[in-house]
Chains A and B, each alone.
Chain A
Amino acid sequence: MNKPINNTDQVKLSLKKRYFKEKVFKSAGLLAIGIAFMFLLVLLTDIITKAMPAFSQTQVNLTVSIDADELGLKDDSSREDFMAADFRQPIRQALRDRFPEATKRKVKKELYTLVSIGAEYQLRDAVLENPALLGQSVTMDFIADDDVDAVIKGAIDRTLPESDRRVKDQKLGWILEMEASGEVHKTFNWLFFSAGDSREPELAGIKGAILGSLYTLLVTLALSFPVAVAAAIYLEEFAPKNRFIDFIEININNLAAVPSIVFGLLGLAVFINFFSMPRSAPLVGGIVLSLMTLPTIIIASRSAIKAVPPSLREAALGLGASKMQTVFHHVLPAALPGILTGTIIGMAQALGETAPLLMIGMVAFIVDIPQSIGDPSTVLPIQVFLWADAPERGFLEKTSAAILVLLVFLIAMNAVAIRLRKKFEKKW
């Protein structure tokens, strides 16, 4: 018969096994975090290294003589005349003067592609702003063509044999000559933050998409926040406990799990086809996204309100406050940090959403910067999608840069959420 062992011995015997189990669990957890972190790191470094070139832009310095007669312009010419004038000619002349050896038609055509097609509009806008430039000779920086940009940034390998290189020897020679003399140089790409979309990679900017996202989120916030908070307060504080309310609660939870594309279809059928609201507008986008964010905010708000200790309510009621006063003076302020956190998380979700916006025509090429919520516009994630699909190689870096802008937005919103929680959080 075995000697009976006491409790302490029994614990001691199992101790080794229990420590081992704990160790295994800990290292498994560490491994999981490590893997997740590694993926994040790989993703971020990939995006950042690809995006960096997009923030600088190659400029070509040219001396252009603006001949008023050749352009058919006078000091008192109307704006229309300026718009119609062919500002390509002075730039082409400047390029021909710079490289007089280009005389053949084909060579000249190649020469003209050193600067972007946007250069003529740059010159036109400069003259429009300062008509005194007419008849003068000006030296200014023009945006380089995307091929030139790619050579300067090293995206096109100069050492490859000519047949395998997109920029041929002749053009490369010009670029290298201008680079050596400092006529071609890189500057910070302000245009990326001040322009709308373009089909030329060197002219494309993100401002239209940023504003589109902003307008859309404003509409979403303005609609979903008050409605969701009101719904949460009612359900938590005022609603009777009966089957009908249970039914509503279940449906709100189900709504949170509905795939977002469904909301897009709803938006198309109801807001665009039935109410004939404009396609591609942040107004409709915002409404559709607010339908999607509503359940998220309601659920977060309800748990925030539930977390307010009942003693607070009882004290207020005991001192003679009405139910309404109790809720709005005491419960709501105490629950606000939680509500705001939930709202910002819902907003961040809406910011990254594309599927419902596909259905309502926000996947579109829009150059003009939207001025109001009724103007056609696109949003950041859709801009990423559109650029990723473009054939021009220059859009590769723009795509990554747009992703980076989107990430910065998301991180900023999450940071605000954390800050709000830290600031207003109370321990009961």
Chain B
Amino acid sequence: MKTLKLCTAALALLASGSTFAAGRDYISIVGSSTVYPFSTVVAERFGKSTEFKTPKIESTGTGGGMKLFCKGLGVDTPDVTNASRRIKESELTMCHENGVKEVVEVLIGFDGIVMANDINSHNFALTRKDIFLALAKEIPGEKEGELKANPYTMWNEINPELPAIKIEVLGPPPTSGTRDAFVELAMEGGCKSFDWIKAMKKKDKSAYKSMCHTIREDGAYIEAGENDNLIIQKLQKNPNALGIFGFSFLDQNADLVKAATVDAATPEFETIASGEYPVSRPLYFYVKKAHVSQIPGMEAFLKEFTSKKAMGDEGYLTDKGLIPLDEDKYTEVATGIKELKNLEL
């Protein structure tokens, strides 16, 4: 009987797959989609140049990665999580509560967020204040402590030196880590330049946050999805629009788009590494110390990732757009990973 045969086949298939509980012979990595492009490159090289299996990398976002990572110890939990911000105290506590007592932190480098437009279009020299005034939902009014709905529709209304074109910015949706970082670094940076708002941070943090972090919803900021390639394609079609995306995409598409300077700094390797370009963030990954001796290849993988060849200032990760650490920080990270220093916040 056909049905019966298929049933047995199904059972056989299930049986062949049931060996999974025994253990895991590959490294499992989760976390930030910003670190994903770098982590995958290391994983691939590691898989090709050693006898170990290639690590599996899921792009779950920083927060989602932390949740999976801190769920506990054992082969059904990930060994490493990538993060485009530092681990929060609450997340570390969650880890500790679930038995993940020792976590090792590795700072791998920096990532810049750029605002760019079509290469044949206007040159933009922005300040963080300009960015805030162009994109915030509400901006400070005439008097101190007063807010008004953002009235600006043209760039030159904000700053007469900017081109006389409509404000049109294509950027990632609220679920994106890039958006979080952009809001925190660029918008809040500009927001803080108003003294009375800065003073508010101490008094009423949540009001301060909603003032500085809320992006306008009247069509000037267009949510273009998480796909940065799509934003670049749209910029070519619309020379008046600016797009927000990660530095690695600018690096790859330098012939199609050009970046705006922010606070007079052009986004380049050097300026981002030195902190001169203000819209940049650190990238990390976190390792479960207890897994290092359990999962085959962990030690070798960590060594590969933190080697000069990978994340040094001429390493292959810089070819993919990672902004490397300076010499002192690098040495600190490299020794930290050798000792598997436990993270304490």
Which residues of A approach B to under 8 Å, CB–CB? Answer: 79-80, 83-84, 117-118, 121, 156, 160, 164-166, 198-200, 218-219, 221-223, 225-226, 229-230, 272, 276-281, 283, 328, 361, 363-368, 372-374, 376, 388-393, 396
Binds A, one of B166-174, B215-223, B249-257, B325-333: B249-257
Closest residue to A277 on the B side, CB-wise? B20
Q: List 12 A-B contacts (CB under 8 A).
A: A164-B255, A199-B41, A226-B6, A226-B10, A283-B14, A363-B59, A365-B36, A374-B17, A391-B229, A391-B246, A393-B252, A393-B253
Are A117 and B19 in touch, CB under 8 angstroms?
no
What's the least CB distance linking B82 to chain A, in Å? 11
Are B9 and A391 in touch, CB under 8 angstroms?
no
What's the least CB distance linking B299 to chain A, in Å? 15
Q: Which among A80, A160, A374 is the interface contact of B20 at CB below 8 angstroms?
A: A374
Closest 8 CB pairs between A and B? A222-B10, A367-B54, A374-B17, A365-B57, A373-B17, A364-B58, A374-B20, A365-B40
Tell me, in angstroms, the Cα distance from A171 to B131 when the chains sit together: 38
Among A121, A230, A361, max chain B CB count under 10 A is at: A361
Binds A, one of B42-50, B100-108, B276-284: B42-50
Chain B 36-69 against A: per-residue CB contact (8 Å), 1 yes, 0 no? Answer: 1101110111011111011011110000000000
B1 at the A interface (CB under 8 A): yes
Q: Which among A278, A367, A388 is the interface contact of B44 at CB below 8 angstroms?
A: A367
Question: Told that A226-B3, A367-B43 touch, could you supply 12 new A-B pairs with CB distance under 8 A?
Answer: A200-B44, A221-B6, A276-B76, A278-B24, A363-B58, A365-B39, A372-B17, A373-B16, A374-B18, A389-B227, A391-B228, A393-B252
Closest residue to B58 on the A side, CB-wise? A364
What's the least CB distance linking B115 to chain A, in Å? 17
Which residues of B approach A to under 8 Å, CB–CB? Answer: 1, 3, 6-7, 9-10, 13-14, 16-21, 24, 26, 28, 36-37, 39-41, 43-45, 47-51, 53-54, 56-59, 76, 119, 226-229, 246, 248-249, 251-255, 316, 320-321
Contacts A368-B54, A374-B18; A391 near B255 (Cβ below 8 A): no
What's the least CB distance linking B16 to chain A, in Å? 6
Closest residue to B71 on the A side, CB-wise? A273
Q: Which among B28, B226, B249 is the interface contact of A279 at CB below 8 angstroms?
A: B28
Interface class of chain A by DSSP: loop
- Residues from chain A with a CB closer than 8 A to the CB of B6 are 221-222, 225-226
Q: Which among A283, A364, A389 is the interface contact of B56 at CB below 8 angstroms?
A: A364
- Residues from chain A with a CB closer than 8 A to the CB of B45 are 117
